[in-house]
Amino acid sequence: MKVLKFGGTSVGSAENIRRVKEIVKNQQDDVIVVVSALGGITDKILNAARMAVMGTEYFNTEMTGIKERHEEVVEALFNGEQKETVKETVIHLLDELDKVIQGVSMIGELTPKTLDKIGGFGERLSSHIISQFIDGAQWVDSSKLIKTDSAFGRALVDFEKSEKLVQEAFNGFSGICVAPGFVSSNNAGEYTTLGRGGSDYTAAIFAAALDAHVLEIWTDVDGFMTADPRVIRKAYTIESLSYSEAMELSHFGAKVIYPPTILPVYQKGIPIQIKNTMKPEAEGSLIRESEPNGKDRPIKGISSISNISLITVQGLGMVGVTGISMRLFGALAREDINVILISQASSENSISFAVDTPKAEAAEQAISNEFEREIAGQQINKVEVESGLSIVAIVGENMKQTTGIAGKLFNTIGKNGVNIIAIAQGASELNISWVVKDGDLRKTLNVVHESFFLSENVEVNIFMLGIGLVGGNLLQQVRQQQEKLMKEKHLKLKLVGVANSKKMLLDRDGIAIDGFKERLDAEGEQSGLEAYKQAVIDMNIFNPVFVDCTASNDAADLYADLLNANVSIVTANKVAASSEYENYLKLKKIAKQKGIKFLFETNVGAGLPIINTLNDLVNAGDKIQKIEAVLSGTLNFIFNTIAQDVPMSKTIKMAQEEGYSEPDPRIDLSGIDVVRKLMILVRESGYRIDKEDVVINKFIPDEFFDGSMEDFWDGVSNLDADFEQRRQKLESENKCWRFVAKYEDGKAEVGLQEIEQGHPFFDLQGSNNLVMFTTERYHEFPMIIKGYGAGAEVTAAGVFADIIRVSNV
Ligand SMILES: NC(=O)C1=CN([C@@H]2O[C@H](COP(=O)(O)OP(=O)(O)OC[C@H]3O[C@@H](n4cnc5c(N)ncnc54)[C@H](O)[C@@H]3O)[C@@H](O)[C@H]2O)C=CC1
Ligand SMILES: N[C@@H](CC=O)C(=O)O
């Protein structure tokens, strides 16, 4: 024997009722089919009754709607004589309902008893229609089998009597029987109803009484999901869960089954299978006894409830006083206010609890009245109410077998900058629940879902600024590598924001890299840096990383606010790390405090692993004693390219065309770019240094840098003759030029040097860079890092590696 229950959506239309028939017909067992009213009908009936008692004629419109809906379904499902018979039953029931509602309208009274009589009409109607539609099905009146007391509106089931009646009614039964859910009656035979989730309850009572081998709840979702799929696209169906897990998840918002209705089947150990009427082939979720020490994940699912208010009662007069909690929750119970979460400080000087926001005012009032004397005497403070909140809960029986869940949970949430307002965990360790601002709910659900590997992939959300040579290359590299990273590293890199100097485009669902430029042009908003920064912060997305591929000072000024909003920074732009020492330290400190990343590996040596190596040396206790380096790709290229037929001015142009130089090549030629890099290396070595501390030996006179870019290009060929003369002399001495950066004993210097053959710098080809670290451990033979030191492709690859570092995969 099986009991199948179909909810309102499952029987909401002729098409769906056909599906129900198909599902029922495919069963191998004897089945009892419990049905809800056609979706939305019970609300309409109750609304009509309320309208009637208020004396408005609108109830007639509701009644017409109810009739039309049923007639439509009958019209679509039946033909010929059967149609007439079903119509007759339906019209008869609808007339009966109409009479009661007319009566309510006339006498202007709507008692709980009348509401109970009216409330079950929807189920009576739907069950008659469906029993006629399924060939050979019988109809049974559940209201005659499920007996309750006479507390209309909140009747309690008499299980002993009901069980006996159900067993008698189905003694020797075989085949298919359809029964209305929700309806019951008292000993006098008057209608009562089973309250919220009533049809689930009817089905559970039948299943328990008849020792069914399974109770199937057919609904419009695939089962219990790991999280709300409207928020978490990657949420998936939980294959099996225990009764307690199902109850907890339902309590915190997963409205798949109404928890109290599970009790009768739980007591008999009858499993509950949740199935989707629209997708009968889907596995669904199985609710069953928990398996102690089972191999289940520690966390089964996450659920949440929004629009919550947190009410705090606080005061020194509460400490050690017995009966405070009893009075507090007694006052709420008297007002019929449901408390969703309670959190109490161990010092006993405060109790916070969460209620639905529409109940918050009544709750505040009830407590203020209860503790009027204590509040007046200042033993208890004025009751505080904070609204606009959500509760999130993780649920799983195996949490109690797994250490570190809470640590990991709150660490991940904290890293994403979400403030936790209250926390509650039961001693059973079945759930941990906490309160966050409504605005942080989506982000919280995402990070928690991801961090407990409920999601297959780690997702990093990228905001790009600057789509020039490096930025453009980076996006193409990400595009090419996206699939592989997903497959091999389970890392999903999602571009969610992109901005150039004119426009910005943000899309939480992702921006395809193919065609992003066209989309930015067509849909992008006119913007400035501040607006982009604010939009990034306002999106409040989880695992965000801001990638700066500009050379802009103003862009660097955004970092502190972004980091403070828990947005990691990856930057090719050297301005921030070489800005005032206090600013550099501040940015690093914020990132550390927030547990996020501020990465700038490409600031020195482009894609070469220089800063990471330096960090490793220092972290492992080494001491940097000397830095000697060729750090400018542009300058090295120029000095390697300059020749009799390739004058200085031409090499500068060539370096720019190769993508080695800064957007403004004067930054390279003046030595400023190398000063920045040296400062960054010195700082990362653990020493304080400022711009003024670096001696620059310029090789191009200042007047070349004074005017505009045009002036520079117009005048640059004036350098050629002198350089050619000096070059010839150098060549004859078998030497070469290198622009060298050096730091030793607190002294920093950059400048052009004539290098002799045999020196490690001599053979440095093209735009290559070379860094030599002399350290306590690398003393006799310094550590050398050498390779391409500029170029869009290698730099983009370095930025890419930093982005992957942010994801921690
Ligand atoms: N090219 C190279 O070899 C290396 C470059 N870098 C750094 O990478 C950064 C980018 O260099 P490239 O791509 O070569 O320069 P680029 O000039 O090709 O690209 C910079 C882009 O940033 C945009 N931009 C400038 N100000 C902006 C603003 N306020 N808002 C939005 N976009 C803005 C520009 O329009 C341009 O598209 C620079 O900071 C450079 O120092 C670092 C290591 C090596
Ligand atoms: N302009 C720079 C690029 C890398 O930082 C250089 O030439 O080295």
Atom of ligand 2 nearest to the CA of 660: 7
Give the domain CATH number at 360. 3.30.2130.10
In this prediction, does ipTM exceed 0.90? yes
**Mean pLDDT of all residues in 530-540:** 96
Give the integer Cα–Cα distance in Å for 667 and 478: 29
**Mean pLDDT of all residues in 605-625:** 98
Return the percentage of the chain with pLDDT > 90, whole number: 84
On whether residue 21 sits in a domain, the answer given is yes
Query: pLDDT at residue 453 above 70?
Result: no
Ligand 1 pocket (Cβ < 6 Å) reads 465-471, 499-501, 529, 549-552, 554-555, 572-574, 602, 606, 633, 659-660, 662-663, 790-792, 795
**Mean pLDDT of all residues in 372-385:** 94
789 CA distance to ligand 2 middle (Å): 7
Judge if 617 and 555 occupy the same domain: no
Backbone angles phi, psi at 88, to 5 degrees: -60, -50
Average pLDDT score over the chain: 94
What are 167's two structure tokens? 């067993």
Q: Which residue has the higher pLDDT, 453 or 61?
A: 61
Mutate to test the pocket of ligand 2, among 575, 600, 632 (most ligand atoms within 8 A of CB): 632
Give the domain CATH number at 536. 3.40.50.720
Q: Which ligand ends up closest to the CA of 633? A: 2
Give the integer Cα–Cα distance in Å for 171 and 224: 34
Backbone angles phi, psi at 393, to 5 degrees: -135, 140
Mode of pairing for the β-strands spanning 503-506 and 350-356: unpaired
Give the integer Cα–Cα distance in Å for 540 and 587: 20
Q: Which ligand ends up closest to the CA of 636? A: 2
Give the integer Cα–Cα distance in Å for 165 and 146: 8
What are 433's two structure tokens? 């629940």
Predicted local confidence at residue 296, as pLDDT? 67
Yes or no: say if 183 and 120 are a contact pair by the CB < 8 Å rule.
yes
770 CA distance to ligand 1 middle (Å): 23
**Mean pLDDT of all residues in 441-460:** 84
Mutate to test the pocket of ligand 2, among 550, 657, 668 (most ligand atoms within 8 A of CB): 668
490 CA distance to ligand 1 middle (Å): 30
**Mean pLDDT of all residues in 424-433:** 82
Mutate to test the pocket of ligand 2, among 661, 670, 770 (most ligand atoms within 8 A of CB): 661
Atom of ligand 2 nearest to the CA of 636: 7
Flag the least confident range among 300-309, 415-424, 425-434.
425-434
703 CA distance to ligand 1 middle (Å): 25
Atom of ligand 2 nearest to the CA of 769: 8
- Residue 345 — very low, low, confident or very high, per pLDDT cuts 50/70/90? confident
Of 482, 479, 543, the residue nearest 514 (C-alpha): 479
Those residues with Cβ within 8 angstroms of residue 593's Cβ, 6 or more apart along the chain or in another chain? none
Yes or no: say if 146 and 69 are a contact pair by the CB < 8 Å rule.
no
572 CA distance to ligand 1 middle (Å): 8
Query: pLDDT at residue 126 above 90?
Result: yes
Flag the least confident range among 193-202, 270-279, 726-735.
193-202
Number of structural domains in the chain: 4
Those residues with Cβ within 8 angstroms of residue 281's Cβ, 6 or more apart along the chain or in another chain? none
Helix intervals (H) in 658-719: 666-669, 672-684, 703-706, 709-715
Atom of ligand 1 nearest to the CA of 467: 37
* pTM as predicted: 0.78
**Mean pLDDT of all residues in 686-715:** 96
Judge if 577 and 629 occupy the same domain: no
- Residue 456 — very low, low, confident or very high, per pLDDT cuts 50/70/90? low
Judge if 54 and 179 occupy the same domain: yes
Return the percentage of the chain with pLDDT > 70, whole number: 98
Rg (alpha carbons) of the chain, rounded to whole number: 37
Edge-first strand listing for the sheet containing 544-548: 525-526, 503-506, 491-499, 458-465, 544-548, 568-571, 598-599
Judge if 639 and 514 occupy the same domain: no
- Residue 295 — very low, low, confident or very high, per pLDDT cuts 50/70/90? low
Judge if 465 and 399 occupy the same domain: no
Instruction: Dump pLDDT digits (tens) for 25-52.
Output: 999 999 999 999 999 999 999 999 999 9
Instruction: Dump pLDDT digits (tens) for 489-521.
Output: 999 999 999 999 999 999 999 999 999 999 999
Name which residue sits closest to atom 27 of ligand 1, judged by CA.
501
Atom of ligand 1 nearest to the CA of 791: 3
Q: Report residue 607 CA to chain centroid gap.
A: 32
Domain boundary among 558, 588, 603: 603
Yes or no: say if 545 and 537 are a contact pair by the CB < 8 Å rule.
no
Mutate to test the pocket of ligand 1, among 463, 465, 469 (most ligand atoms within 8 A of CB): 469
- Residue 146 — very low, low, confident or very high, per pLDDT cuts 50/70/90? very high
Predicted local confidence at residue 221, as pLDDT? 87
550 CA distance to ligand 2 middle (Å): 13
Judge if 511 and 371 occupy the same domain: no
Predicted local confidence at residue 455, as pLDDT? 67
573 CA distance to ligand 1 middle (Å): 7
Yes or no: say if 69 and 42 are a contact pair by the CB < 8 Å rule.
no
Question: Cα 532–538–540 angle (5° rounding)?
Answer: 120
Question: In what helix (H) or strand (E) does residue 567 lie, and over which residues does it extend?
Answer: none
Phi/psi class of residue 236: alpha, beta or left (left: φ > 0; alpha: ψ in -120 to 50)? beta
**Mean pLDDT of all residues in 108-128:** 96
On whether residue 427 sits in a domain, the answer given is yes
What angle, 0 to 180 degrees and rounded to 10, lies between the N-to-C axes of helices 58-77 and 80-107? 170
Q: How many helices (H) and strands (E) does the chain have?
A: 31, 29
Give the domain CATH number at 757. 3.30.360.10
Domain boundary among 561, 583, 603: 603
On whether residue 592 sits in a domain, the answer given is yes
CB of residue 798 inside a 6 A radius of ligand 2: no
Name which residue sits closest to atom 25 of ligand 1, judged by CA.
550
CB of residue 630 inside a 6 A radius of ligand 2: no
DSSP 42: H
Question: In what helix (H) or strand (E) does residue 446 lie, and over which residues does it extend?
Answer: helix 441-451
On whether residue 252 sits in a domain, the answer given is no
**Mean pLDDT of all residues in 96-101:** 96
751 CA distance to ligand 1 middle (Å): 25
Instruction: Dump pLDDT digits (tens) for 621-632.
Output: 999 999 999 999
Judge if 768 and 729 occupy the same domain: yes
- Residue 73 — very low, low, confident or very high, per pLDDT cuts 50/70/90? very high
- Residue 232 — very low, low, confident or very high, per pLDDT cuts 50/70/90? confident
Q: Which residue has the higher pLDDT, 472 or 299?
A: 472
Q: CA neighbours within 13 Å on the CB side: how many for 228?
A: 19
On whether residue 676 sits in a domain, the answer given is yes
Predicted local confidence at residue 454, as pLDDT? 64
Those residues with Cβ within 8 angstroms of residue 144's Cβ, 6 or more apart along the chain or in another chain? 165, 185
Atom of ligand 1 nearest to the CA of 660: 3
On whether residue 801 sits in a domain, the answer given is no
658 CA distance to ligand 2 middle (Å): 11
CB of residue 304 inside a 6 A radius of ligand 2: no
Yes or no: say if 774 and 763 are a contact pair by the CB < 8 Å rule.
no
Residue 497 one-letter amino acid: G
Judge if 575 and 696 occupy the same domain: no
On whether residue 445 sits in a domain, the answer given is yes
DSSP 643: B
Predicted local confidence at residue 247, as pLDDT? 86
Yes or no: say if 157 and 184 are a contact pair by the CB < 8 Å rule.
yes
**Mean pLDDT of all residues in 474-492:** 95
Judge if 209 and 347 occupy the same domain: no
Mutate to test the pocket of ligand 1, among 463, 550, 574, 681 (most ligand atoms within 8 A of CB): 550
Predicted local confidence at residue 35, as pLDDT? 98
Flag the least confident range among 52-61, 76-85, 518-527, 602-611.
52-61
- 3-state secondary structure labels for all residues of 188-222: CCCEEECCCCHHHHHHHHHHHHCCCCEEEEEECCC
On whether residue 211 sits in a domain, the answer given is yes
Predicted local confidence at residue 572, as pLDDT? 98
Judge if 441 and 488 occupy the same domain: no
CB of residue 601 inside a 6 A radius of ligand 2: no
Predicted local confidence at residue 261, as pLDDT? 78
Q: Which residue has the higher pLDDT, 88 or 257?
A: 88
Atom of ligand 1 nearest to the CA of 667: 41
Give the integer Cα–Cα distance in Å for 494 and 544: 10
Domain boundary among 427, 451, 475: 451
**Mean pLDDT of all residues in 733-756:** 98
Give the domain CATH number at 34. 3.40.1160.10
Judge if 614 and 599 occupy the same domain: no
Q: Domain range holding 372?
A: 301-451
What are 690's two structure tokens? 């400022």
Question: In what helix (H) or strand (E) does residue 161 lie, and over which residues does it extend?
Answer: helix 159-169
- Residue 292 — very low, low, confident or very high, per pLDDT cuts 50/70/90? low
Predicted local confidence at residue 69, as pLDDT? 97
CB of residue 632 inside a 6 A radius of ligand 2: yes
Cite the active site residues: 677
Judge if 771 and 658 occupy the same domain: yes
Question: Cα 620–621–627 angle (5° rounding)?
Answer: 100
Phi/psi class of residue 453: alpha, beta or left (left: φ > 0; alpha: ψ in -120 to 50)? left
Yes or no: say if 511 and 478 are a contact pair by the CB < 8 Å rule.
no
Flag the least confident range among 176-185, 193-202, 620-629, 682-691.
193-202
Question: Cα 381–386–391 angle (5° rounding)?
Answer: 125
- 3-state secondary structure labels for all residues of 399-440: HHHCCCHHHHHHHHHHHCCCCCCEEEECCCCCEEEEEEEHHH
